[in-house]
Amino acid sequence: MQSRILIVLLALMAIAAKPVKQAPPTATHAGPAPIPVALPNYDEETTTKLQIFLDNNDFGPGKIDGRMGEFFRKALVHYKRAHGMSETGAVDQWLLDQVPETFTTFTIPPEAENFVGPTASKPSEQSKLKALKYGSLLELVAERYHSAEDFVRKLNPGMKLDTLKPGDTLKVPNVLPFKIEDLHEGFVPANPAFANRRVFVDTNERFLLIYDDKYLVAEFPITPGSTTLPAPLGLWKILGIATLPVFRHDEGVLNHGVKSDQFFNLPPGPNNPVGVLWIGLNKPHVGIHGTNNPETIGRAASHGCIRTANWDAARLKELVSVGNPVSIFK
């Protein structure tokens, strides 16, 4: 009898996990309904587990920090809507069960030092560097595990994190890591399997949605432009996807959307202003890209583009394709 009950429960959980059809946003329906205010304040352990689960399933909660932030709440509701689950504040235990261990350890390998190097703040100085690498091993570890440096410090009290070296072992969130070493400069070819996918950018709620036909398959927090140069509303198309791009720093483009003859070519790397990925649209000088400062996502302005954390940007190239339509709305 108990085994039959267990089989039924497992079947119900499998049904709950399957995507369901959900009407994509339209010009008259600007994104999902408001996030319920009834979501409880989960404890830090529960929140961290849910953040990891959502992140591992392409519903980005923002940085993993164990806090009930805006993007965590939005990601949780989006995931539940996409899978036909109740949107009440109750925690679904089977979600938590997908992350049996909240934290794991990471031992810094010798090759990690290849991705750390000198930094500069001025474009004129950055352009002289061979690559815009991480400024420290702590920065590398934090971004690898989708976290802020402060959270990594909190998880490792007493450690001298400003002088990390290969061989040191740290406690980190048990999230699928973003591996900078897996990225290589170049262009991503079109993926016929994603021909029916559509991207929606909600500039008001500050998130990016990816639909496959009528199925919501992913959601990530973003920064959509600024007051001076807002993200261009309308229907666009992905023209190209480049990993580890070189960035043309042109004040004319950044401030007025017009090219000038005063510019600097900034080398690739995680601290490039557009991060590790550039998805170019058929709107001049506008794209979806990563960032050199993930903690500003959703808060600081960008220059007309759609900015994501590097760990989310790296996944975007695995979820969309050249030719996909991109609808930007508010």
Could you state, in chain order, the average pLDDT of each consecutive group of 10 residues for the chain (330 residues)? 36 50 61 54 91 97 93 92 82 90 98 96 94 98 97 97 98 98 96 97 94 96 84 96 93 69 91 96 94 78 80 97 96
How many helices and strands, by DSSP H and E, does the chain display? Answer: 9, 14
Q: Is 142 helix (H, G, I), strand (E, B) or coil?
A: helix
Nearest to 16 by CA among 110, 89, 85: 85
How confident is the model at residue 251, as a pLDDT? 76
Tokens of 328: 């930007």
Tokens of 269: 């790397």
Beta bridge mates, 228? none
**Where is 52: in which H helix or E strand?**
helix 44-56
Instruction: Name the CATH superfamily housing domain 186-329.
Output: L,D-transpeptidase catalytic domain-like (2.40.440.10)
> What is the distance between the alpha carbons of residues 330 and 191, in angstroms, rounded to a whole number?
29
271, HSE (Cβ side, Cα atoms, 13 Å): 21
Long-range contact set of residues 208-214: C-beta below 8 Å, sequence gap at least 24: 208/288, 208/306, 208/308, 209/24, 209/25, 209/31, 209/78, 210/58, 210/319, 210/320, 211/22, 211/24, 213/21, 214/21, 214/22, 214/23, 214/24
- Distance in Å from the first CA to the final CA of the chain: 53
Measured CA to CA in angstroms, residue 47 lies from 76, 228, 329 at distances of 10, 36, 30
Q: Computed from CA positions of residues 103, 107, 109, 112, in that sequence, does the dihedral angle turn out positive or negative?
A: positive
State the pTM of this model: 0.88
What pLDDT is stored for residue 17 in this prediction? 53
pLDDT confidence of residue 29: 43
User: Could you tell me which of 234, 225, 248 has the C-alpha nearest to residue 305?
Assistant: 225
Q: How far apart (Å, rounded) are the C-alpha atoms in residues 313 and 56?
A: 14
- Whether the Cβ atoms of residue 178 and residue 314 lie closer than 8 Å to each other: yes
CA gap 144, 56 in Å, rounded: 13
pLDDT of residue 37: 44
8 Å CB contact between 197 and 324: yes
Per-domain boundaries in the chain: 103-182, 186-329
Strand 247-250 with 215-221, pairing: unpaired
* Strand runs labelled E in 56-124: 103-107
In this structure, are residues 320 and 238 in contact, taking their beta carbons and an 8 Å threshold? Answer: yes
CB-CB contact of 207 with 30 (8 Å)? no
**How is residue 238 written in tokens?**
């992905």
- 3 state SS of 124: helix
* Residue 58: closest CA among 82, 36, 40: 82
Query: What distance in Å separates the CA atoms of residue 306 and residue 285, rounded to the nearest whole number?
Result: 11
Bridge partners for 189 per DSSP: none
Task: Look up tokens 């039959």; give the residue.
Answer: 4
**94 closest CA partner among 39, 13, 175, 18:** 13
pLDDT recorded at residue 162: 96
pLDDT attached to residue 256? 62
Length of the chain: 330
